[in-house]
Structures are given as structure tokens and as C-alpha cells.
């Protein structure tokens, strides 16, 4: 299996013979289901090839999962961290397998109360931001002061490290974001990529686990809310093989309703999200450009990577519109 040598993993774990499959849908860190016939785990490792500094740090991801699971927040419980690259060729960690549904199929979503599910996701995000980082052992997990300014610089650096083509307007978007950076309020644990298909949902539409913590840190919680709004309008879902945006599904709350629900749950001021939404569009554009870069180098695993690059220009345009108040 590409990216995971099960025999070497078996020897490291001193376990019975292992079998495994790769999870579909991931465009960054690689995720596998692994079992020895009795126990079920999920293994995470960095992507193959082009890896940007700090973007795929297994130690940080393992640490935040451990802290959040101990605090009672819905995440998979980590069970093993391995930083020895001789085992499978990269650092990795194992976590418990959590049951639940990841909603990527629009037809499946239309069978549930999508409005209630979306508000549950908003509440889960607000609950994450309500946790005291110091109280759960994450006081030094990041530096909330100056977070937004560092994010603008960081994602420009990520863009520069992944350039493979001309992208109209993306440097201008960065320049506009860099000229008027909000100071931000009190810091919180931020997920960094919170969206519908990063959550395992129970049959009762409760959240069993929030997944994919590779970009988590301490920072401005409004960055998570803005990115969730950006994702609501992106083609994350499919119906009969065609892309669909969550907000186009009947019952999905409006973006204003999402912001109002978050404000009520978190007691935070969300009256001016324009900069945050503009930055969220820029950040997602850079993330997808990095995925496109790896695809052009033959360093991706699985289907669906050939269309990622085409999504970037629309995000750049959306970022400019957000800064103009649209």
C-alpha cells in the first residue's frame, strides 16, 4: 500500500498480521484504517514528497488530540506516536477508530435535518474556542499575540514554496490583507480547517469526533468561523458525480445565521468578519495550490487531485470581494 508498509508497522507494534486501507477524501496528510483483526486504529502520516515546514507535524497533531480528548472534547483518542522514520519512512501516529458518518454526498445530506446538523457544527466550534488552553495543557501550543499577522506572513511563505504557475490576483490579495490586519481578541485553540467533511457524525446528528488537526494552534477563533463560512460555499459535496456546495442544499443556514449562532454560543463579537473571510479565502487558495503543486510532481495518492488547481482562482476572487464588503 503506497505510503504505508504494513509488514514494517506490524514488526514495530509486535502485533498479529495487519490489514489496512487508505481513507478517501484527504488531500494532505495521509490517513489509513488499520486492524489486526481485533483492534481498529487510524494511522496518520505526512504526505509523500513536497512537505512544507511545520505543515504536517505529527507530534503537534498527536499532542492536541491527547489534550482535547482528556478535556472531553470529541476527538479520536491517540494511542501511539512514532517519530522514527525508519519504521514506515515518515513520522506517524495511531489513534482509536471512531464510528460515524462523514457527509460528502449531497443525496445523503438531504435525508437528514441539515439545518440542525450545521448548527451542531457551529456549536462544536464555539465549544472548542471556549476551552482554556492553559487548563488543558496547551498553554505553549502557540502564540495568540500577533496571530493574524503571522498567519498572513506564513501563508505567503507557503504560497512562495508551492508556486508552479501564474495566479492572477493572489499577490494583490495578500498585499491587501497585509495592510489592515486586525489585532484579534483573546486566543483560543483553533482547528485551522473546520468544515463539514472533517467531522464524524452519529445517527442522532451529534458530533462523534472532529478530525484533521494538522493546522491547529492557539490563535484568533474568528479565523475558524470565517473559514467555515468559506467552506459552506465551496463544492465539498457530490451528487451523481457533480460538485455541490453545502449552502446550496435545502435547509443550510445562511452565513449570517451561522455567524449569529456562533456569537450566541461563544459570546464573541462577530460584527465585522470581512477581513477574516478574505484571509480564509486566501489561506484555502494557498492550501489548494500546495495540493496542486504536489499533484503536478506526482506526489499525491488517490483520485480527485486533478481538479484541485482549478478551484484556486475563484477563491482569490472571493477573497477580494470579501475585503470590499461583499
Higher pLDDT, 33 or 272: 33
pLDDT at 51 exceeding the cut of 70: no
pLDDT band at 53 (very low <50, low <70, confident <90, very high): very low
Section 234-255 average pLDDT: 87
Higher pLDDT, 307 or 2: 2
Query: How far is the C-alpha of 317 from the C-alpha of 119, rounded, in Å?
Result: 28
pLDDT of residue 25: 61
Closest CA to 235 of 122, 119, 106, 115: 106
Q: In order of start, what are the domains of the chain with their CATH numbers?
A: 6-96 (3.30.200.20), 106-323 (3.90.1200.10)
Query: How far is the C-alpha of 18 from the C-alpha of 36, rounded, in Å?
Result: 5
Query: How far is the C-alpha of 259 from the C-alpha of 228, rounded, in Å?
Result: 10
pLDDT at 55 exceeding the cut of 50: no
Q: Quick one: cell of 196? A: 463539514
- Listed in order, strand segments (DSSP E) in the chain are 19-22, 30-35, 40-45, 78-82, 92-96, 188-190, 199-201, 207-210, 217-219, 237-239, 242-244
Q: Is 190 helix (H, G, I), strand (E, B) or coil?
A: strand
pLDDT band at 317 (very low <50, low <70, confident <90, very high): very high
> What b/e readout covers 218-249, taking b as 16+ CB neighbours within 10 angstroms?
bbbbbbbbbbbbbbbbbebbeeeeeebebbeb
Residue 219: CA count within 13 A, CB half-sphere: 19
Cα angle 24, 27, 31; round to 5: 55
Q: What is the pTM of this model?
A: 0.89
pLDDT at 271 exceeding the cut of 60: yes
Higher pLDDT, 127 or 271: 127
11-20, 39-48, 244-253, 292-301: the lowest-pLDDT one? 292-301
pLDDT at 305 exceeding the cut of 90: no
CA distances from 181 to 149, 220, 226 (A): 6, 12, 15
pLDDT at 243 exceeding the cut of 80: yes
Backbone angles phi, psi at 140, to 5 degrees: -105, 25
Amino acid at each position: 500500500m503506497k505510503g504505508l508498509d504494513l509488514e514494517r508497522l506490524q514488526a514495530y507494534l509486535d502485533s498479529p498480521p495487519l490489514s489496512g486501507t487508505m481513507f478517501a477524501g484527504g488531500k494532505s496528510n495521509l490517513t489509513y484504517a488499520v486492524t489486526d483483526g481485533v483492534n481498529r486504529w487510524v494511522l496518520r502520516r505526512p504526505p509523500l514528497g513536497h512537505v512544507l515546514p511545520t505543515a504536517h507535524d505529527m507530534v503537534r497533531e498527536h499532542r492536541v488530540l491527547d489534550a482535547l480528548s482528556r478535556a472531553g472534547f470529541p476527538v479520536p483518542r491517540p494511542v501511539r506516536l512514532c517519530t522514527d522514520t525508519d519504521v514506515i519512512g515518515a513520522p506517524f501516529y495511531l489513534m482509536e477508530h471512531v464510528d460515524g458518518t462523514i457527509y460528502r454526498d449531497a443525496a445523503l445530506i438531504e435525508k437528514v435535518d441539515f439545518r440542525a446538523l450545521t448548527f451542531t457544527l457551529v456549536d462544536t466550534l464555539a465549544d472548542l474556542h471556549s476551552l482554556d488552553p492553559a487548563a488543558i495543557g496547551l498553554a505553549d501550543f502557540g502564540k495568540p499575540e500577533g496571530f493574524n499577522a503571522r498567519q498572513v506572513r506564513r501563508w505567503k511563505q507557503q504560497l512562495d514554496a508551492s508556486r508552479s504557475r501564474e495566479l492572477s490576483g493572489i499577490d494583490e490579495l495578500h498585499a491587501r490583507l497585509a495592510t489592515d490586519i486586525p489585532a484579534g481578541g483573546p486566543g483560543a485553540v483553533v482547528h485551522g480547517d473546520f468544515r463539514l467533511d472533517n467531522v464524524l457524525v452519529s445517527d442522532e446528528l451529534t458530533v462523534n469526533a472532529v478530525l484533521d488537526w494538522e493546522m491547529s494552534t492557539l490563535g484568533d477563533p474568528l479565523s475558524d468561523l470565517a473559514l467555515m463560512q468559506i467552506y459552506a460555499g465551496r463544492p465539498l459535496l457530490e451528487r451523481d458525480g457533480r460538485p455541490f456546495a453545502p449552502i446550496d442544499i435545502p435547509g443550510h443556514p445562511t452565513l449570517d445565521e451561522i455567524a449569529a449562532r456562533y456569537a450566541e454560543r461563544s459570546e464573541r463579537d462577530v460584527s465585522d468578519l470581512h477581513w477574516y473571510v478574505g484571509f480564509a479565502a486566501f489561506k484555502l487558495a494557498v492550501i489548494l495550490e500546495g495540493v496542486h503543486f504536489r499533484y503536478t510532481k506526482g506526489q499525491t495518492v488517490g483520485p480527485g487531485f486533478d481538479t484541485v488547481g482549478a478551484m484556486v482562482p475563484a477563491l482569490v476572487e472571493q477573497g477580494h470581494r470579501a475585503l470590499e464588503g461583499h
